[in-house]
Chains A and B, each alone.
Chain A
Amino acid sequence: MNWEAWEETSNSVSGSSNIMKKILRYLMIFIVIAVGQLPAVVFAVDETSDIKTRPITSIEVSGLFSMSEPELLYLLNIEKGGVLDRETLSDGVKRAFLTGIFDDIVIENLDAAGTAIAVRAKEKPVISSITIKGNSYFSNSFVRKELSFSSAERLTGLKIREGTAKLIEAMRKGGFLNADALSELKPAGKNEVTVEVIINEGAPELIRQIVIPAHGDVINDFLPFGEGSIFDHVAMEHFKNKVLQYYRKKDFVGTSLSYAWVNGVLTLNLDPGKMLKVVFSGNSALKSDELMKEVPFFEINEINDDLIEETMAGILALYRKNGFILAQATPIISGTPDTSLLQIYISEGDRYKVGEVTIDGASISQDRLKDILVSKAGDDYNPDDLETDRSNLGDFYHALGYLDIEVQEPEVMMQDHKALIKYVLNEKQQVKIENIEIAGTKNVSADEIMKIVAVKSGSPYNDVDISESRRKIIELYNNRGFLEAKVSVKRDIAGAAARILFVVSEGNITFFGKNIILGNDRTRQFVIEREFIHETSMPFDTGKLLQERQRLYRLGLFSDVEVAPSDQSDGKRDVIYKLREADAGAVEFGLGYGEFEKYRAFLDVSYRNIFGMNRQASFRTEISSIEKRFILSYSEPFFFIRDLVLKSSLLYESKKELNIDTHKTSYHLSRETASVGVEKKLSDTVKGSLNYDFSVVKTKDVDPNIILSREDTGSLIISGVRPELIYDTRDNPFDPKKGVLAGLTFKVASAALFSQTDFLKLQVYANKYQSLSKRFVVAVSLRGGAAQGFGDTRELPIVERFFLGGRTTVRGYDQDTLGPKAADSTPIGGNAFIMGNLELRADVGRGFGVVAFSDAGNVWDKIQNIDIAQLKYTTGLGLRYNTPVGPLRVDYGVKLNREKGESFGAVHFSVGHAF
């Protein structure tokens, strides 16, 4: 019965109160049905009969396509030997359902004894393909774009409904008013469906006639359709915007364009509005362009008295900000029926500066107080800042325990175009904290809480610190599993002493429940789980969840990681990990040209999720006119234990060293290297590694002038171990804005490792990155190295010597051309080097960057011959274009201490920053 019906049939009512009670009772029933909300008394009825099985002896699972049986049983919390009750079953089904895979999960009891269980899962089908039929005007790509579902997605009724509706709307807007579409589902293979989108475009709305009462010249310039065209509403909106923009650029305001569409006749009514000219006069300190920024008429496409008044207020505020406190602005509007002229007469008045600022009655030093003021001596005087400063002083004193501080209105005296500002304070007494107590703690000791409390006995009373302390106590409890912990603060302020009592209500402890992992279509579940640092039944800790989120991001497999606890159930909270997998494969390539190397190209193909196990493999080739290099590498991120990475690589390199002047070949070198090693994360910022390298180096066609040792010609086996330590606090390894990267590498090759040469080699480096502002980063690098032969080895083989010059070392010099040279000027490398680099990196927008750099460095034949005075300096500019793997870059460096016969500079192409 509805209200109207009641009104018709109810004739005898004893009183209005009864009427209303009946009405309200009726409404309450409606709410019960609509919302399922019942009065508390109804909730307190007896429970339903409980299900309880005996220990389960057999579990039968069916209907799974994209989840393994153990994974589903884990989520359902069903295991052999376990006992099921109603709550466990209900929680399990709800938990598994959160994965978004299922349409239904039915759990059946297969025998009367309750020992055999069947789990019948029904997964939501996957869309295998989408076929489109019936379209002739609209292309398949248009239809696919409008449908919000695509193949390989899981089918849901909502997606089909919304996608189809969106398509219909788009077709109708496109001029087919009667367009319709239907999405039919057809089974296709195991748990897959084909969606057949059947389109009925219907007849389009055709424009029979276009009527343009006025301004036809402008309209025809932009009109996208003519008589006989389909009336496309989307094109119509674009057309309207273009016309409005056209008039805006011509300084018109009040432009409007409307249309009428009746029986195929399109009537376009354009009112261009009025051309508005805004003229400032009388201004000299502030330019008209600056004042125009305060004029909103063109942006709003309107001019009226209120807007003019707002504009004047904005202009005067701008003047006051610049010290013109007596500035006046008078608007006068005039014009013809087609044009308006707004003349704004400015009387700037004199400019005033802030003179002396004094603060009377302050026991705190004047300098300290003046630091917090906006108006400082010498600044432009703006009276609008006085109230801000008064408030700042009050807040500052309050934070120091002066709870009754009085800051009087400032006295301002104008003298010689200076404002002398005087604040008078009445500090009154400072309240200090006499005593801090903690009450209500059971599971965390008061001593432990006191350590994190920001306020201390004897310190000034400060509400901000007290609130922060309260927040920290709650956070501490939350991280120990007490998610409902509440902390109230009782303050007892008597005279100059305050007693603070934090009263803790711990609530019940919550433990970690199950882990629900969503979105890992390619990545194996255990790869994700091994990044977890919590265990089921540990006290729930949101801090651990944050760390796990970071760990998952660091795998490089996911573009989005969302970690959220689910609702609490039975003292436990499940954790839902919603992941979005990033592209695991990448192909990079680049081309470049250098004066010395001529052409240069590289190709890098990598995949970081082999078998869904985060195993990474890559193949990189670098080719130039003098060098070929092929590297095949593989890494296993979880080598038996957490954070231990196995790395291995195979390298083949063939290099032709040319004389820099004659371009004659000085020697040919080929190297085959196999490396294997482990890398261990020692802390969040430090990692160590130990590698073994085995190389077969062949040097031939060697110019006798550059042979330093017997190892420099023929075939040579180099076998050595290479421990390394890296400290890394960079925010982004590809494009760091802040942080430090420092490291130390030591290599020893010895006959004990079957090496035909013996040497020790040490390299150190430290790079520092610091953001100066949103767009500027300064980067500094210092690198050095030293090597020494031992045993029968006096000189290191040429492949192990240090070389500098080129794209990542000293730009301005060609690749590897710095340092000791043979008689024919061919670089022969050395046993020691020192290098420094400085870069100012500027982001100029749209992915581009400009870098100014300065490099210095040199190579010496022996450690004892290092001479800082022999450092070679270069400077230059570079251009960057950002890509996900670092910037593509081109640098041009200029030699600052060029020697006779040397080139002026060199161009370098590469990917990634120089350091």
Chain B
Amino acid sequence: MTAASCYAEVMERVAAYVNDKAITLSEFRENAQRTRKTLADISDSDIINSMINRLLLLQEAKKMRLEAPTKDELVRDYIDIKIKSAIIIKEEDIERFFSENSAKFNGQDYFEVRDEIEKYLFEREANRHLKKHIEELRAESDIKIQLKASE
């Protein structure tokens, strides 16, 4: 074996795929670099999984024929339409939250914190629904992660 044939650098490969869409190694590296500027400790596994989830949501958005100037806005629009539009926070849930956690509000009046509680409960519910929706999408998709630790 010559010295030249021993040299082999992976320039590109499929890091993961979702059905017939590939996430390439270079895309993963680029995404990891960006993400770690905000979340330094995030693992490779979390990054590739978040890319898979994003791809799944983009595919669903396209199925709904949604259009947006950028892919991020498309994902955001999809979440708004598919997930957030179906969430209703009832007044009694806000009141219950306030009464169960009243000690932590330092004696503030219900109406002073009502909107913020509603926003919190809404986001919590949106996350719950989104997580469930992503789990469903993943279950019905052909997903494979073939990223190795060295890459």
Residues of A at the B interface (CB closer than 8 Å) are 3, 7, 10, 13-17, 19-20, 23-24, 27, 29-38, 40, 42-43, 45, 47-48, 51, 53, 84, 86, 89-90, 92-94, 97-100, 102-112, 116-118, 156-159, 162
Closest 5 pairs (CB-CB, A-B): A36-B50, A158-B142, A97-B22, A36-B54, A89-B12
Contacting pair A110 B5 (CB below 8 A)? yes
B75 contacts across to A, CB distance below 8 A: 35, 37
Give the most central of A7, A90, A117, A159: most B CB within 10 Å.
A90
Give 6 pairs: A residue, B residue, CB < 8 Å, sorted on A: A34-B53, A36-B50, A37-B72, A107-B10, A108-B10, A158-B143
Contacts of B143 on A, CB cut-off 8 Å?
A: 157-158
Q: Which residues of A contact B49 (CB under 8 A)?
A: 33
Task: Please tell me if the beta carbons of B142 and A157 are within 8 angstroms of each other in the complex.
Answer: yes
- Main SS class of interface, B: helix
The smallest beta-carbon distance between A575 and chain B, in angstroms, is 15
Chain B residues with CB below 8 A from A51, complex form: 11-12, 26
Supplied contacts A23-B123, A37-B54, A103-B146, 10 more A-B pairs, CB within 8 Å: A7-B101, A7-B104, A10-B104, A31-B127, A35-B79, A40-B72, A45-B33, A89-B12, A94-B24, A108-B8
Which B2-32 residues sit within 8 Å CB-CB of chain A? 4-5, 7-14, 17, 19-22, 24, 26-27, 29-31
- Say whether, besides A94-B24, A157-B144, A158-B142, A17 and B116 are in contact (CB < 8 Å): yes
The answer to whether A107 and B12 touch across the interface, beta carbons within 8 angstroms, is yes
Q: Report the Cα distance A105→B26, complex, angstroms.
A: 13
Question: What is the interface residue range for chain B against chain A?
Answer: 35 or more
A10: nearest chain-B partner, CB-CB: B104
Cβ contact of A38, chosen from B34, B53, B141, cutoff 8 A: B34
Task: Please measure, in the bound complex, the distance between the C-alpha atom of A295 and the C-alpha atom of B48, giving whole angstroms.
Answer: 58
Chain B 37-74 interface mask (CB, 8 Å, partner A; 1/0): 11100100011011101100100000000000000100
Residue of A nearest to B12 (CB): A89
Partner of A118, one of B8, B27, B39: B8
Cα A111 to Cα B9 with chains together (Å): 8
Cα–Cα distance between A204 and B71 once the two chains are bound (Å): 52
Q: Does B108 contact A (CB under 8 A)?
A: yes
Using Cβ atoms and an 8 Å threshold, which residues of chain A touch B76? 37
Pair A32/B12 contact, Cβ less than 8 Å? no
A110 touches B8 (CB 8 A): yes
Do A24 and B123 touch across chains, with their CB atoms under 8 A apart? yes
A112 and B57 CA atoms in complex are apart in Å by: 40
Given contacts A33-B50, A93-B24, A111-B7, contact A103 B144 (CB under 8 A): yes
* Cα-based distance from A853 to B88 in the complex (angstroms): 67
Smallest Cβ distance from B59 to chain A, in angstroms? 11
Nearest CB on A from B128, distance (A) = 10
Report the Cα distance A801→B131, complex, angstroms.
80
Q: Which residues from A are CB-within-8-Å of B92?
A: none
CB within 8 Å of A: which of B71-124?
72, 75-76, 79, 101, 104-106, 108, 112-113, 116-117, 119-120, 123-124
Question: Is the Cβ of A90 less than 8 Å from the Cβ of B127?
Answer: no
Given contacts A103-B144, A109-B9, A110-B4, contact A90 B106 (CB under 8 A): no
Given known A20-B116, A48-B29, contact A33–B9 (CB-CB < 8 A): no
- Whether A27 lies near B123 (C-beta < 8 A) is yes
Q: Is the CB of B50 within 8 A of A32?
A: yes
Residue contact A90 to B146, C-beta cutoff 8 Å: no
Inter-chain contacts of B119 with A (CB < 8 A): 20, 24
- From B13, B51, B79, B134, name the one whose CB has the most chain A CB atoms within 10 angstroms: B13
- Known pairs A20-B116, A36-B53; A105 contacts B14 (CB<8 A): yes
Cβ-defined contact, B12 with A93, below 8 A: yes
B127 touches A27 (CB 8 A): yes
Q: Within the assembled complex, what's the spacing in Å between the Cα atoms of A30 and B39?
A: 11
Q: How far is the CB of B86 from chain A (nearest CB, A)?
A: 17
Given A20-B120, A48-B33, A97-B20: A33 in contact with B42 (beta carbons within 8 A): yes
* B123 cross-chain contacts in A, Cβ below 8 A: 23-24, 27
Residues of A within 8 A of B37 (CB): 42, 45
Return the contact of B14 from the options A37, A104, A156 (Cβ within 8 A). A104
Given contacts A29-B39, A107-B12, contact A16 B130 (CB under 8 A): no
On whether the beta carbons of A102 and B14 are closer than 8 Å, the reply is yes
Docked complex Cα distance between A20 and B123 (Å): 11
- The CA-CA distance from A116 to B43 in the complex, in Å, is 33
Most B CB atoms within 10 A — which of A10, A36, A37, A98?
A36
Q: Are A109 and B8 in contact (CB under 8 A)?
A: yes
B26 touches A35 (CB 8 A): no
A43 to B73, CA, bound (A): 13
Which residues of B lie under 8 Å from residue A53 when comparing CB positions?
11
Contacts of B105 in A (CB 8 A): 16, 19
Contact B127 A158 (CB under 8 A): no
